[in-house]
Structures are given as C-alpha cells and as structure tokens.
Structure 1
C-alpha cells in the first residue's frame, strides 16, 4: 500500500559547491535543502575552510553555486556584481533586504527603498525581481540598472 503523504517523485535541484570542500562539484539535492547539506554531500570542509563567512543555513536553489573560502581569503563576489564596478555590493535577497541595504544599490534612494518595503509588507514575498516593476517609482529603465543587485531566496 502506498502512503498518500509520501511524494513518489520528490522535486530535485542541482547546485555546485567549490573551494574548501573535500569533493568540489555539482550535486543533486531534494528541494528545500540547505547549504550545510550540500557541503556534507561534498565530503565536508577542508581543515582551512573559513566558515565564519558562510551562512550554512542558506536555502539552496536550483542552479546555485557556492564557494567556501579558506582562512584569510577575501570573500568572492558573484561576477554579475563586479563587472566593471569596483566596490559594488554583492547581490542581496530582495525578500530580506533592509532599508539601509536597499539604499546601497545605485539608483535606490530613501523613498524608493520605503516603497519596496511597503510593497513587500502589503503583497508578501517577491516571486521575481521583475515584480519590482509593480513598486511605485520603479520603471523599466530603473529595473535594468538595479536588477543585478538582487537575488531571491
């Protein structure tokens, strides 16, 4: 007899981990997995891994790539946030960013940051970065300038 509560075809995701793990590579995990589970699949960390810079509780999304740094190593920024922009902030989670975080993005001032937070309070979590177009003061041109600064978790 099949248990109706068990999903016979659980959703899977594929993510990469590299840097200071014993077996860097691409792994398949159940949907909803956390970074610590991906690191465990990769055999754990090396003796020189710097885990103070890593949020092991981070939810892993399909297509994610994580880098575990070594002690003394500068954190790596995703390529999209560093192309031609020295000192750019790393992409932030649009669903968790504070007003201060949002204002670090070029093109977002106090009023726009407030509008994003108000939208998030009223409508709930953003389901895509494109949803910013529904926020007052954000049009197509602004979205194109700020899109690379956001991710969704």
Structure 2
C-alpha cells in the first residue's frame, strides 16, 4: 500500500506540487488578512458616559426649543382698550403687531391720539393695548405675567416705552384718571363710597387735569389733598 502511494505521488507529482502551492498561498492570505485587520479597542467608560450625557442634553434642548416654538406660534390674547371702535379681548398670533390688534377692534375712533401708540410693536400674550384720546396722557400699564414676554405699554413717537408696575399706578403713585375702586381704597381714610365718588366725578366731568382737582369731589378738602398729594398722580 505504501509503495503504491509513493508510486502515485511520483506519477502525479505535478498535481501534488500545485495542491501544496495552493495550500501555502491560502495560509499566507489568511495570515496577511489577520495582520492588516485594525485592532478592536474598547470604548473607555468615561467617554461612553460623556457621549450619553451629550445625547441626552441635545434631546432636552430640542424638546425645549419645540415647546418654546409652540408657545410663541400658538394663539395669544390681548386686551384692547381706550379709543377704539370695539374694545375687548382678542386672539392674536406672535407674528402680529399692535396695528393688527387695533384692526381686530374695528380701528381707532376719531378722538384717538395715534401719536402715542407704537403701531409697529409686536404683540405679546396678556398684553394691554391702550389707545388714549387726544389730550390724554397715556397711563402706565401692567406688564404681562409671562416670564419671557416684554412689558405691555403704550409707546410714544420716539419709540421709548414706559414700563408700569401696576394698572392705574405710576411707580408707587395712584393715577386718579385710571385707578379703579380697589386701587383708590389703598389711600388711608378712603373707603368704597369715597372711591366711587372719585370715579363718578371722573365719568361726569372727564379726566382730572391735576391732583388739586380732587378738591372738586365732595368730601375732599385742602387737608385731605395735602395728605394724599404725594400718593397721587394724573
């Protein structure tokens, strides 16, 4: 059997040489691939954690941006007052201007003093848009309660705004021409009846021209005026 195998190899030595060559070549290719393959390195734990945190931060910022966009592009509401045809609460959008809100209120009246209103100002949610009549000084208005919104005030022709601290008040003073019953009762010694007298006088005779005009209201004399003079404005 051994002799026959040797004899067969001698007869087919060319074929055997080819097979051996192919085997050697295959092994060489396998070794070359193993050498050239880049090493697989494990990602450090700290790097993986930082990558995860960066992904979470990016997701959070995207969500916040989406919420902010939704809040500014959604419906807003403004309160249009003063010398307009139909004062009231109107729904607007963040892209609208004061002029658009006044148009919703059917426009200005013939007595409106347009010079004291900045028609180009952008509207913000909870804004009060007040249009004064000619000869009237625009009152300081309350700012919207939303944290990101700007103050809602009437503006003069210079484009400067006067930011108020409360409706019917200029700084810490109470405005006789815009204050309601509750605001007037903040004055020491002024109850509901006296406050209603002030408002009734204002409705009948028009706005107070000066704080001294308070003496024209029944129940208010020189002593009362001297007591309240530093707390009032018009």
Q: With structure 2 as the length reference, what TM-score do the two structures score?
A: 0.31
Structure showing the higher helix proportion among its residues: 2
Q: Which structure's relative contact order is higher, taking Cα pairs within 8 Å and 6+ residues apart?
A: 1
Structure (1/2) with the larger strand percentage: 1
Structure showing greater radius of gyration is 2
Structure 1 length-normalised TM? 0.47
